[in-house]
Amino acid sequence: MIHPRIVAIGTSTGGTHAIEEILKAMPLSCPGIVIVQHIPEQISTAFTKRLNHLCRIEVKEAEDKDQVKPGCALIAPGGKHMSVNFHAGHYCVEVKDGPLINRHRPSVDLLFKTVARHAGDRALGIILTGMGDDGAQGLLEMHQAGARTIGQDPDSCVVYGMPRVAFEIGAVQKQIPLSQVASEIIQFAHG
């Protein structure tokens, strides 16, 4: 069985604007998208609802066992980890508590590592603006599993931290400005 395509995005400082720009450009035919944004739990629900109102695709705060499907972006709730698995022909997410990973919950690394394990070369991993190094190791695992990997370039980042570390360890195949990320996702969707 051929796994469907999936897009995994990780971001922190400056990411709410970046995610909005990307998701507003997504067509209904886009692959399923899973997102970890470092955000407090008091804010994540309102952020997701606002995006759902602004975008053509469905944008939903992820709940345990939600299916990852085309035309939908699932955003990890603040204060909860989100991982991906593959079962009965489709991806679904697990949303749960757990210890901090790289000082964060949700953790970009956890999301990316599970996407690497379950999607391999059917995935696109994108690391956007943010402080620190969360997501770099996970993106490297995605790259090693055959996924395409992108990092936001220094000039368009609010904080060139997470993408910089990912780039320095060889996890990023190409760096691009934020304005080109949506077109990369659309291109990936069409193979």
Q: Which residues are catalytic?
A: 12, 38, 134
C-beta separation of 134 from 102 below 8 A: yes
C-beta separation of 22 from 182 below 8 A: yes
- The pair of three-digit structure tokens given for residue 148, joined into one six-digit string: 């395409």
β partners of residue 166? none
H-helix segments, the chain: 15-24, 41-54, 108-119, 136-144, 162-168, 181-189
Q: CA-CA distances (angstroms) from residue 50 to 16, 97, 143, 170?
A: 11, 25, 32, 35
β partners of residue 104? 101
The one-letter amino acid code at 48 reads: T
Rg (C-alpha) for the chain, rounded Å, is 14
